[in-house]
Every structure is written in C-alpha cells, then in structure tokens.
Chain A
Amino acid sequence: DAKTTQPTSMDCAEGRAANLPCNHSTISGNEYVYWYRQIHSQGPQYIIHGLKNNETNEMASLIITEDRKSSTLILPHATLRDTAVYYCIGHQGGKLIFGQGTELSVKP
C-alpha cells in the first residue's frame, strides 16, 4: 500500500470550497486512492475513491493528477458539519492503512 502524506490541519470558511491535498508518490498502477473522514468520536465514513479519472459524487470531487502521484479532495461548499479528520489512503488487497490525516476546521 502506498504511503500517503497530508497536511496536519487546514481551515476553511463556511460556504467556501475546501481543497484537501494528498501526496502518494509510491502508489502502484492498480492501487486505488480512497478518502474517508472521521467526525470526532465516530467511525470513519467513506467519501470517495478513484484510480485514474477524476470522480464526483454527492459528497465530494476527487481530482487525481495524470502521474497519479497526488490527488485533491474537494468539498465544494463546506459546512460546519464537514469539520472532521480527512484520510487519504492508498488501497490494494483489502487493507486500509490509516495515517494521521488532515484535521479540517470549517469556521463560520
């Protein structure tokens, strides 16, 4: 599984887009990039995943660079309820290896 690197923390104003970066330079060709988030004292929640193409769902968009060495999770209109720790995970073979993630604080 690829080692991922994320900023420790980020702030975002309510209603603005939150762009969370992730570096995964050691990712292998068939390894998916997954994003989860964990609101304080709850279980992690799946957000989105991608392989090569950009992806969008009702929660977020995922932009993956062409060389697949980095990606950005975009929350288009952040709300206070989006305050959480966001994890970027390289995923292959069924195991998720969680790092420290990015603590996103959405402020009024």
Chain B
Amino acid sequence: QKEVEQNSGPLSVPEGAIASLNCTYSDRGSQSFFWYRQYSGKSPELIMFIYSNGDKEDGRFTAQLNKASQYVSLLIRDSQPSDSATYLCAAQTGNQFYFGTGTSLTVIP
C-alpha cells in the first residue's frame, strides 16, 4: 500500500465551479499534510499545508483534514483555467515527506 494515494484523474470542471481533490494516507503517525500545484514542465509549488483536523482556508483554496478517516482534500472555489495543473498531496511523517502521484485538473473555459 502506498503511503499517499490520489486519484490520478483527469478531473475536469467548468470555469467558476468548485474543484474537489482528494487524498488518503496510510500512516496514522503522519503529522502535516501539504498540497502542491505543478504545471506541466515546471516544479511543484506549495499551495498550502494543514496539520489540524478541520478546514483551513486561503483565498480560493480550502484544505480539509480528517485524521480519523486519514483523508485530506483540497477545494478550489471559482475555478479558473489557470488552475489547470497537476495537484500533489504530501504527508509528512517524521523527517520524511511522502507524495501522491498527483491528480490532473482541467478547468474548461
């Protein structure tokens, strides 16, 4: 079983809609969780991190963490074509960071 799992997609949403990206992790000892965005041909960039149960909002992005279910999600409100990218979920356990394989998101104008 992989440490972090994501649906590879592709996920397509119309412009202005809410995009919902999901991630599960296997190690209950994981402490912090991260969402990165990666455009094609570029390196990942940090969107936000979360370490407490519940929701964390930053602009159009909301990260949700449910430690009991070992589930992390990222909601993107008012999706824009510029949000089209691969979204990587990562879990930190001790000194290690485990990445999912990423979900490809396409926002259709």
Are A and B part of the same complex?
Answer: no
Q: Which residues of A line the B interface, CB within 8 A?
A: none
